A and B are shown apart, each in its own frame.
Chain A
Amino acid sequence: MNLRTSALTLLAAGLLLSAAPAAASSSDLQFMLSARHLEWNAEVRSRLESAAGSKQALVDQLIEFSRSDDVPSPVAMRSAHILANEYVDDPEVGGQVLRAMEEDIADPNKEGLARLYASKVERITDRTAKRAVAAAVADRGAVSTSFKPYAERLLNSNDSNVRSVVAKRLN
């Protein structure tokens, strides 16, 4: 057998984040969300917050992006993903994020956001927020034929509270 000692090369794909700027404008954050393959980890979160100036400033910006027609759709939707993944459970900014999510789920012109947020219910850990998002999804499903299937999926939730609130409002 032709044995050789060969170094095994691992491709470190992703963003190496360091040397954060003091603050960044909205266009800078938009750029940071434009990577073809945007990896996500605690370091990326920290980097985005640093670039925005604070956690609060980042959340404000992400909400604006998610609702904006002036940023590319992947930036808008990635902003919404990050809000739901990272900040709706946050004790400092969670209330603001939850209100934004509820508004967007109810907005007839934001069905894409509503579908995205419906897909996030299972991962929300804060019980109050989880129930509130589930209720908002069910309410939209009750009045929107196109959205109803997304609400009905929550009838199979692992969380009995989610199943209950959705069943009560959807029917």
Chain B
Amino acid sequence: MVDSGVQVDPSIVAILGLSGTFDFFLSDLEVNVSNTDSYQVVLTRDNSPLVTLVVTSPGGSEVISSASDGTPPATGGVLIDFHVNPLTNPPSNFFPSIVSGTYNHLVSILANPGGPFPFDGSVIAKNDSNLSSGRLLLNVYLVGDFAQNNFTAINTALNVMAGIYTQRGITVTTQVFNVPSGSGAIPDPAQGDTFYLNNLSGDFAVHVFMGERIDAADNNGLLLGRSGGAPGAQVPTIKSIVGIDLGNHAGANGIFNGNEPTILGGTVAHEVGHFLGLFHPVEISVIGATLADTTFTLGDTLTDTQSCSLGSQCIANGAVNNLMFPLSDPSFMQQNLSVQQGQVMNLQPVID
């Protein structure tokens, strides 16, 4: 049974609105594509957990699956999320290239059984076979006086971020917007908020909100930054953003100085990396007394990001220098991006 279908045929990038009603908590969504190198499906439904369980190719092969994709998976689209479920196909070059035809997305809306389940969303398709370079529009929103008064340091940080992305052929163009705010605090990007949706520009861009604080109930102020998804939804939703906590970067004196703008730039680059589909190359397993003693488990599914099971190995093989390493340590550069990481980012429709 087909519950909804769309037809996509982009010249460069095409965005199609999507809406319909699933009549069961497990439903098939058909995506018909041609002239497409990658596409992202974004499903949204207020206050509902959403997940894409399986993506099947036009030939009937299972190409992405929550059951077989590992932990962490190649895409956050196969993880249960609330409100928004973005999935980019292919997640990386290790997945089959897109062919013309109908892809089937088996989607679950985890709500009360019985339905019907109305939903909204979009399909964004990209026709750009060059995965070695691209252009990224970065819209930066300075929320409140603190952010706006620290524009010089933020500009330095954005240049650091742009320099990191340049190594993988991604040219970053930045636009800055001021957003009034009484407290300068921004909501938790992982939970999403209409504050974001109401302030997003209409540009096809990665949207980075910077506030003095991020109010995240689960973290009590400890966040440095957080992406609304991995990858993030590349059409406007309540979670289509990256949030950055400026206060935690400005230090005890509340003034950006020394290496603080550089550290901030690393955080922006890391979180935007998540938004563009990157995971940590390794995940912390058991944190030890020192980096050398800390143990790690496998992270991303890429083959050219260094892996390590013990911190001493991470230092020796250079894994610690990767932008997406899960520990932030200014004594290491932590600005490296591998070729395959660049490809993952370039697969996202938001990079043309």
Contact = CB atoms under 8 A, between A and B. Distances in A.
Interface stretch (A75-83, A89-97, A124-132, A133-141): A75-83
A76 B224 contact: no
A9 B71 contact: yes
Contacts of B270: 36
Interface residues on B, range: 35 or more
A43 B288 CA distance: 14
Contacts of A163: none
Contacts of B327: 31, 34-36
A115 interface: yes
A113 B252 contact: yes
Interface residues on A, range: 35 or more
Contact of B287 (A9, A15, A85): A15
A109 to B, nearest CB: 6
Given A16-B286, A74-B224, A9 B248 contact: no
Contacts of A13: 72, 283
B326 A36 contact: yes
A39 interface: yes
B243 to A, nearest CB: 12
A9 B291 CA distance: 28
Contacts of B284: 15-16, 35
A18 B286 contact: yes
Contacts, number: 170
A21 to B, nearest CB: 4
Contacts of B69: 9
A43 to B, nearest CB: 11
Contact of B249 (A2, A4, A74): A74
A104 B254 CA distance: 12
Interface string B66-79: 11011111001011
Contacts of B12: none
B8 to A, nearest CB: 21
A9 B220 contact: no
Point out which of A4, A19, A51, A82 has the most chain B C-beta atoms below 10 A from its C-beta. Answer: A4
Point out which of A77, A80, A149 has the most chain B C-beta atoms below 10 A from its C-beta. Answer: A77
Interface string A56-79: 000000000011110011101110
Contacts of B78: 9
B188 interface: no
Nearest to A65: B252
B260 A73 contact: yes
B67 A7 contact: yes
Interface stretch (B40-48, B51-59, B154-162, B163-171): B51-59
A113 B250 CA distance: 10
Interface in A8-66: 8-13, 15-19, 21, 24-25, 27-28, 31-32, 34-40, 47, 51, 66
B221 A4 contact: no
Contacts of B185: 119
Interface in B250-306: 250-255, 259-260, 263, 267, 270, 280, 283-291, 293
B213 A31 contact: no
A28 B290 contact: yes
Contacts of A38: 219, 222-223
B4 interface: no
A21 B291 CA distance: 13
B53 A4 contact: yes
Interface string A138-156: 0000000000010001000
B232 interface: no
B248 A77 contact: yes
Given A6-B54, A7-B67, A36-B327, A112 B220 contact: no
A77 B247 contact: yes
A99 interface: no
Given A1-B26, A35-B328, A112-B251, A73 B67 contact: no
Contacts of A114: 254
B288 A21 contact: yes
Interface of A: 1-4, 6-13, 15-19, 21, 24-25, 27-28, 31-32, 34-40, 47, 51, 66-69, 72-74, 76-78, 80-82, 85, 104, 109-116, 119-120, 149, 153
Interface of B: 1, 24, 26-28, 51, 53-54, 56, 65-67, 69-73, 76, 78-80, 104, 106, 108, 145-146, 182-183, 185, 212-213, 218-224, 226, 247-255, 259-260, 263, 267, 270, 280, 283-291, 293, 325-330
29 contacts: A1-B1, A1-B24, A6-B53, A6-B54, A6-B65, A6-B67, A11-B73, A11-B79, A15-B284, A31-B290, A34-B327, A35-B327, A35-B328, A36-B267, A36-B280, A38-B223, A39-B219, A73-B260, A74-B263, A78-B221, A78-B222, A85-B220, A85-B221, A110-B252, A112-B247, A112-B253, A112-B255, A113-B254, A119-B185
